[in-house]
Structures are given as structure tokens and as C-alpha cells.
Structure 1
Amino acid sequence: MKYLLVQEDEDGVERLWGRCAGVEGFFVDPVPPPREVLTLRGCRPDGLLSEVLAEPHGSLRGLGDVCVEVWDDEKPVQWWTLVDAVVVAHQPHPADPARYDIVLGAGVRSEESFFELPAAPRFELFAGTTVGAASAGRCSAVDGLFKARADPAPVPMELIGCDPAEPLLAALRRPRRSEGDWAYLLVLDRHGAVMASRTVGLAITGARPSVLGGTLVDITLTDGGDDRPSPAARLIWAEWYQGPPAEPNLWAPYDSQGRAAWLDLTTRAWRLPAPRPDRSGGEHHLDGRFVTDVPGLHCAIAEALLGPGRYFGREWNAFKDCLGGGFGVAPPFTLTWHDSEIARRALADVVEDPEDGLSYFEDIVRLLEQRGVKVVLR
């Protein structure tokens, strides 16, 4: 893959910083956070957490990553990840023997640096961090969650074979001037089209003549950003490198993680102009044979409405935004969902809003109908 380093000015105009022949450290997994001890207070376990508590040696079985949603009276307002969580101990809650106080060992990760606890919070637990993860229960408090933590150490990135433009040359001459700045690393497919964009820091640790020779340079960025794809996604990126998908269901052979990585690449559509005005009316056919998880559902819906490789949301909230217009298709229209029973069964236990109780499949169908879509389930 080839890369462009660009930075937006105050008017949103991209300015080229340089072209790169390769990147080392583009595919990386996040550095695991340090282990901590947390206590789920007044917990009503569900799903995987309930299964682990019922086992005689539950602490030997890990929970994997657990998502903690902090809700106010109406909606979730904070999201935390308990990384590689394990049950250390548990006991009945003093005020209600039907509930538990559960001690967990886990790393703690969050997207935000500042949190204000709602006046009357509730804590929803999910077994996994992907969209549509199954419920693991709820609790009244999480001791040890809200405290100051050191920022994780940045993971560097090597830009190999860079042909620097003037802004990058200036940064190489005076690297301290760009230490707090950020830029976009644009990934090009084999046709030269932008297939993805990632944010990188412009602080430069070092620069040297390139191993590729000539006037090129190799540059070490102090922080390659925290939204880099996992090494497990290499095959998917290699497929997209050949060009945007030209036929449907190429995402179908992948597991949920792979399908989520596929959806990441459909967001390239923000650089592609959507049809103007939005198309309405007519009938769209959704191939439901491979809709066995939430990422698969959104891959299939986007293909039904816009075609292979296009973007029309990757989770419930983004999908709702897309139905509001500006993404190429807008209600009213008819969506004929073939083999819909596959999704109904596969997503029966995936609940977006525990208070509502609808499965993810039912919630998506309701949202479509509320927005003026005629849904025909086949």
C-alpha cells in the first residue's frame, strides 16, 4: 500500500505533507492497560457473567472484554472497557441476597478523559465491545472505575521511503513546532484512490536517509494514533487494496471481528460524493442469508440500499443518522428482507436497550418503519 500524509487547515482544505512508500507499525493491537481490581455492586448477572458465577471454579474462566455502559435516566452517556476481565470473588449483596457483589480483575480503558457521573446512574454490562454484544447484567455501582489514570504510552510508527513536501521539510528542520499537531495518513489502493484514513501525531522522534535510497527519508512518528487496525485485519485490507468491492457478500466469510473491520473500510465513502439528491421510492432487496451478527446486518443493509462497499451506518445510532438523509438513499422506500428468519434467530439475544427489551433485529425493523420504510420480511 502507498500512503499520503496530509493536514487540514482552518478552512478544512487538505495540505500535502508527503508521500510514503510504506509504513511499519500501521497494524497494531492496543497495548493492554495495567491490571486493576474493581467491584460490581448490587449486580444482577446475565448471560456469560451468570454462567461464570454458576461454575465451581468460575475464576479460571475469563470473561474477555466487558463493556460497561453508564446510563442516565434516558440513555447511555459513558462507555468503559474492562479488558480481559476475570471474576476474582463474589458474594450476595448485603441489601438484596438476589443480587451479588462481584470482584473483578481487569484492565480499564475508556475513550474519554473526563467524566461526570449522572445523578442517578445505572450500569449496564455487555460481554464484548462489538456492536450488539450480549448483555452480561446490570449493577448499581462499580467501585474503582472512576479514578485518575495515566495516559497509555504512545506507540510509534515508522514512515518508510518518504518524499517530503515543504510542510514536512519544515517540521524536520524544527520538529518541536509540530509536536502537538495531528495529521491524516491516507491509505491508497492500487489504483491510487483513498481507501482509508487514520489520524497520526506529527511529533517526530527521528529521521534518517531512507533504506530505499535516493532523496527519500525514513521518519519515526512518536505517536501513530490509537485507531490503527488490528493485525487480524490484514487480509481484509489486502482485499480492499485491489479496489472497492464489485460484488455483494464478499464480507460474508469473515467472523464478527472481520466484518466489523470490513465496515471500517466502508467509511471511505465519506470521501466519495453521495448521489444528490437522495434517492427515494422503489424497492430494495436485502440478501439475508449471511446476516448472523450485527456487523453482518449493516454490511447487508448497505449493500441492499447502495451497493457493495458502500456505507450506510455501522451500528444503531449511525444507521438512524443515515436514514435522516444525506447518504444517497432516504425514505420512503420498500425494503424486502429475504431469509429474514436467519437474522431474527441469530440476533434474538442481542438487545440494544435493556429497558426496551427488543432484539437488535426487531429494533432495526421498528426504526425502519418509524422512518417511513415499508419492510417486507420474507
Structure 2
Amino acid sequence: MQAREHAVWERSFPVGYVLAYEDADGEKQYGARCVSAEGVFADPVPPPREVLTLRGCTPAGPLLEAVASASGPYRPFPEIRVGVRDDRQPLQWWTLVDTTVLAHRPSATDPDLVDITVGTGVREEHSWPQPLPASPRFELFAGGRAASVSAGSCQGIDGLFTARRPAPPLPLRLIGCEPAEPLLAVLRRPRAWERDWAQLWALDRNGRRMTRLEVGLGIQDARPSVLGGTLLDITLSDGGERPSLIARSIWETWYEGIPTTPNQWAAHSAQGREEWLKMTAMGMNGQRPDRSGGEHNLDGRFATDVPGLHLAMAEALLGPGHYFGRAYDAFKDCLSGGFGIVPPFTLVWHDAGIARQALADDVSQEGLTYFEDVVRLLELRGATVVLD
């Protein structure tokens, strides 16, 4: 199913969204086209504040610095990721949001270890079906997933495994919709579909699928549209995970078409650049032919964070608006082929010192910074990297 097939109709309003669903064979099918949507963007509601105690800890990195701080208030962390694992692999991932060290003292079981009491919000990210071992290990990482550093480990966390009330779903209102089957069936029997999911495709002004959202098909309300005619306004009871408010201006830019000017992303924050990267990834529909050779110039002036590095890399190798990885593993996949270019080629990295300094604190287990890891990977794959 192609978005452009449903992007034109005999009405004065342009089609802004297409609702698509997956049939029993896994094929995308057309559900509806709509003029607009209200409530697309929403910053996540922070989880309620809690007090946890990290038992028997060996703090490292930023957490060690906070514990060693001689004066309060103690240094907060935007995020601490907790990996709950056995001897082989992580079994659960949790995120402690906006964490502050409240107190610390030597552990009662081992004076060489530390018990750390923190104030935080708790969010469970992922868990596998395996049961936890009798004595799980708790590994700590400070910072987001794209740029995390070790914060040490603990023997246990009091208060982590507590039942929490999930955040209420956020409704999403689709404006000016022309439904087809099976959405008409959903409207006739909403309860039968309330656990089903669909994709809401946001289109640019040319009818190209710009990005997509996963939305629930639970119908909260359907009524004649404020736009008139036979159109409907449909409120979905669960609009799914939303892009943040910061993404709105990025969607506005991409609505005009795939950007063709270099560094249009540069003025955005790291979070905004992540949203820009999502837009570039939507342009990847299957494998594409690769070319090799040539000299490519990377403008390093704005590679001040991980998403900025990858945006600058993609522009250097393929041009503005293209995708060539959002993080290290995805970048590695792109270098393996099918994304438009493969080594050997020459990459001249101008102002390389900016990324080297900006990512100096993002260190892998091998002791290399993110910048050094990227350069090494390029060279291992056969690229010549000139750091200017």
C-alpha cells in the first residue's frame, strides 16, 4: 500500500493523514484518510516521585561524583538506566527519571560498599519473560541510551519492584475523516476492535509518507466533522506514544518536502535532532543500490552530540534528508550495504575536534569515545578518514 494512492480526493481540504492497518497476512491495508489530527504532539507526563534505596553499591562515573560531593543539594541526573540481569544477560530495563542523591552511607553488609538513597521517578522500559534469579545483579548507567556511561552496580534496589499505576492513555482526535473498511466495521462494533492497533501516516504536501504513529483502534467518539459534508471526526481513546512538542516545528519543515539544504537540523537541540533522524529513517523503504569511491566532506561544526554526528555523516555521504544510521549499531548496519554507499571511500572530517571534544565523556567498555569508535569502524570497513 502506497500513501500517494489515497492522498488525493475531490475535496477542498488536502489529505494530511492516512490510517493504515495490517491484515491477517501482514499486508498493509487502507483504513481512512483524514484532513488533520488534534493531539498528535505531547510531552510525556513524568512518573510520580518515589524514594528508593540502592543497596550494596559500587558507584562509578557521575554517580560516584555525586556521592562524593561534600555539599548539597546533590547533583541530579536526567536519567539513570538500570539493567537487572543474571550472570549472562539483562532480564529487565528500568529508567530512573530526574534522579537526585538524597543520602548515602556504608553498607551494613560490606563497609566497602555504599547504600544510596535517591529521589526519582520510575519507568519500566522492557522485560523479558524469564524469571529473575534469586540474587539478580543491578548495573547502572547515567545518561540516555545513545550516550550512556557506566554509573557502577548494586546488589539490590529497595522499592524498585513495586506495582505502579500506568499513565492514563491520551486520546487522539482525527479531523475530517473519510473511512473505509475495516474502520467502518470499527465504528459499527467499537468494542470488538478496542485492542487492535493501526498506523497513522502523516503525509507531506506532496502526498509522501513523512512519518507514522502507532495508534489504538479503540473508538471513544465519532461524530459529523466540523469540516462538514459526509466527513467524520473520530476520537481514538489511545493515541499511543506521541512525538514530543519539540517535534512540531520539525514536522512543519518536512511537510514542505525532503530537505535539500545542508545543516537545517543544526539549530535544534539533541532531542530535536533525534526527531529529525526519525524523519530521515522513514525514507528507507527496502535495500537500495550502493556506490563506492570518491571523496566526501563532513561538515563537523555542528556534530556536538550523537544525533548531530549521524546527521552530519549522512549529509556527507548521501546528502541532506538522507539516512545513514541513528546510533552506533545502526551506523554499522548501514556500512554493510544497502543504504546507498559502502567503503572504500575517503571521508574528510572538517572541524573534527568539535565532535572529539563534545563526545569525550561518552566512553565504551573498550575505553574509546563515541567519536573514536565511529572513526575506527569506518577505517575497519575500508574507508580512509582524514581528520581536518
TM-score relative to the length of structure 1: 0.89
1:301 to 2:313 alignment:
yes
User: Contact 1:3/1:21 (CA < 8 Å) preserved in 2?
Assistant: yes
1:284 to 2:296 alignment:
yes
Q: Which residue of 2 aligns with 1:105?
A: 119
Structure 2 counterpart SS, 1:90? strand
Structure 2 counterpart SS, 1:166? coil
2:340 counterpart (328, 333, 340): 328
Counterparts in 2 of 1:287 and 1:79: CA distance versus 1, 3 Å: farther
Counterparts in 2 of 1:232 and 1:368: CA distance versus 1, 3 Å: same
Q: Which residue of 2 aligns with 1:200?
A: 215
For these two proteins, the number of residue pairs brought into alignment is 372
Counterparts in 2 of 1:144 and 1:325: CA distance versus 1, 3 Å: farther
Q: 2-side partners of 1:283 and 1:118: how far apart?
A: 53
Q: 2-side partners of 1:361 and 1:73: how far apart?
A: 30
Measured after TM superposition, the shift of residue 370 of structure 1 is 2.4
Measured after TM superposition, the shift of residue 335 of structure 1 is 2.1
Deviations 1:160-199 (A, max 9, x none): 1111112211110111221121111000112221110111
**Counterpart residue type for residue 15 of structure 1:** Q
Give the alignment's Cα RMSD to 1 decimal. Answer: 2.5
Which structure 2 residues correspond to residues 1-378 of structure 1 after superposition, within 5 A?
2-53=16-67, 54-59=69-74, 62-70=76-84, 78-94=92-108, 97=111, 99-114=113-128, 116=130, 117=132, 123-226=138-241, 228-271=242-285, 274-276=287-289, 278-351=290-363, 353=364, 355-378=365-388
User: Contact 1:72/1:119 (CA < 8 Å) preserved in 2?
Assistant: no
**Counterpart residue type for residue 85 of structure 1:** T
**Counterpart residue type for residue 63 of structure 2:** L
Structure 2 counterpart SS, 1:19? strand
Counterparts in 2 of 1:70 and 1:247: CA distance versus 1, 3 Å: farther
Measured after TM superposition, the shift of residue 291 of structure 1 is 0.9
Structure 1 counterpart SS, 2:146? coil
Counterparts in 2 of 1:252 and 1:120: CA distance versus 1, 3 Å: farther
Q: 2-side partners of 1:208 and 1:132: how far apart?
A: 46
Q: 2-side partners of 1:320 and 1:147: how far apart?
A: 38
Measured after TM superposition, the shift of residue 123 of structure 1 is 4.0
Q: 2-side partners of 1:229 and 1:88: how far apart?
A: 32
Measured after TM superposition, the shift of residue 79 of structure 1 is 3.2
Counterparts in 2 of 1:42 and 1:336: CA distance versus 1, 3 Å: farther
Measured after TM superposition, the shift of residue 23 of structure 1 is 1.2
Q: 2-side partners of 1:176 and 1:237: how far apart?
A: 33
**Counterpart residue type for residue 354 of structure 2:** I
Unaligned 5+ segments in structure 1 are none
**Counterpart residue type for residue 347 of structure 1:** L
Measured after TM superposition, the shift of residue 293 of structure 1 is 0.8
Q: 1-side partners of 2:185 and 2:52: how far apart?
A: 48
**Counterpart residue type for residue 211 of structure 2:** A
